[in-house]
Structure 1
Amino acid sequence: MADRDWLDDTRTSYDTVAQSYADLLRDALAGEPFQRGVLALFAELARAQGAGPVADVGCGPGRITAYLDGLGLDAFGVDLSPAMIDVARRDHPELRFEVGSMSRLDIADESLTGLLAWFSLIHVPDDEVPAVLAEFHRVLRPGGVALFGFFAGDGSRLKTQGYGGHPMHVYVHRRPPARVAAWSEAAGFVVEAEMTHRPSPDVEGGFVFAHR
């Protein structure tokens, strides 16, 4: 894993699957009441901080960005994959989407009311996560809220195809919520909640709510 660049692998993989990913997941939230509830709580906490932009970091084709917009947030999306951003701009032309890396966000210090990383930290290696979370902390204003969604558990696996059988080369990392919470606190966040969700016997999601 150390012999390859995880950013390049992630970018190339999601460029390859962008359209099929969008087609497969476009309506997925309709069947996920727990995920909708988690996002609604995040939106409520962000609105309580007043007006201001909310970044969906690792936004993919923009489906969650659009959902946050529908919840009354001034949401915009950032993604490493130019092909994903092309799909997002096509499907949601009323919203703002930018190509960018979560490891070096082109966002001013203390400028965001909220930041969402919705299952986008799952490809970041363990030794890179603290720097990414520090970057998230940098762009949030004092009191700004963050929600991190990820696959709970432990261990990593190499994903070599997905979303219609297209080739990929990305590691999928599973982490216990307590570990993500500890990393968040080390980056300067105040952690408010750790949650797990088991939508099926072999799938477990984790969520960490925090604020600056």
Structure 2
Amino acid sequence: MARVSAMIESSALHDTRAAYDAVAGLYAELFSDVLTTLPLERAMLAAFAELVSAQGAGPVADLGCGPGHVTAHLDGLGVEAFGVDLSPEMVALAREAHPHLRFDEGSMTALDLADGVLGGILAYFSVIHTPPRDLPVVFAEFARVLAPGGHVLLGFFAGDDPVPQPFDHKVALAYRWAPDSIADLVRQAGFAEVARVQREPHDGERPFRQALLLARKACGEPVQIP
């Protein structure tokens, strides 16, 4: 897995890191309290937290944690959570805002974690910048670090086209995915879908449906990407 993951240290990762470094302060100012206006997202996060806690298989990694607001929300729900982000500026802001929590710099394509150590993974609108060809590798990496029976909660922008559609995210190039397409990739990585939620955009949001997909890792061996 390390060999394959290293191949994805590409221009896409470099560009995304640089873009979020450049807007980190503004991003934190605009979005650090966004969950207060999102009841459906809070409900899914609460269900995710309850499932992870009941499983008791390990902590939750909030991958692409940004300024750490969702990591802190999980902590408030009683979950042992830590954050990982590609952007060192985001990690610095998260550590400053939430000094009692752990935040590390890193990439979801090559996590500095041992096999099977996590009880859950949250990727809340953080896989949207991953080039479509690389997303199966990311999901295989999720399967590697999750304990059997562990849960993953994905947030993404939804579309109807089975082919992922690029769009101008304003920070970095991003993609909309048909929920069925994401579910198929998750299934191929060794997960079973548990639930999904879609909602229409609120005023001021991008004019795309937003989706959350919850899945559980099977208890067999993780899928290996050759």
TM-score, length-normalised on structure 2? 0.86
Runs of 4+ aligned structure 1 residues displaced above 2 Å come to 199-203
- Equivalent residue, structure 1, for 2:73: 67
**Residues 109 and 137, structure 2, Cα contact 8 Å, conserved in 1:** yes
Deviation at 1:51, TM superposition (A): 5.6
Tell whether 2:166 aligns with 1:156: yes
Moved more, 199-208 or 144-153: 199-208
Structure 2 gaps of 5+ residues are 1-9, 218-226
Flag structure 1 segments of 5+ consecutive residues without an equivalent: 162-167
Q: Deviations over 1:54-79 (max 9, x none)?
A: 10000000000000000000000000
Q: 2:210 aligns with which of 196, 202, 205?
A: 205
Q: Is 1:11 paired with 2:21?
A: no
2:7 alignment partner in structure 1: none
2: CA distance between counterparts of 1:9 and 1:210? 29
Q: 1:8-87 counterparts in 2 under 5 A?
A: 8-50=14-56, 52-87=58-93
- The number of residues matched between the two structures is 201
Distance in 2, matches of 1:199 and 1:43, equals 24
CA displacement 1:63-101 (0-9 Å, x = unmatched) = 000000000000000000000000000000000000000
Aligned to 2:127: 121
Matched, 1:194 2:177: no
Computed over aligned residues only, the root mean square deviation of the Cα atoms, in angstroms, reads 1.3
Q: State percent identity of aligned pairs.
A: 50
* Contact persistence 1:181–1:194 (CA under 8 A): no
- Of 168, 171, 186, 1:184 maps to 186
What's the TM-score once normalised by structure 1's chain length? Answer: 0.91
For residues 56 and 79 of structure 2, the distance between their equivalents in structure 1, rounded to whole angstroms, comes to: 10
Aligned counterpart, 2:142: 136
Instruction: For 1:196, give the aligned amino acid.
Output: Q
For 1:7, the aligned partner's letter is L
Give the whole-Å Cα distance in 2 for the aligned partners of 1:27 and 1:158: 24
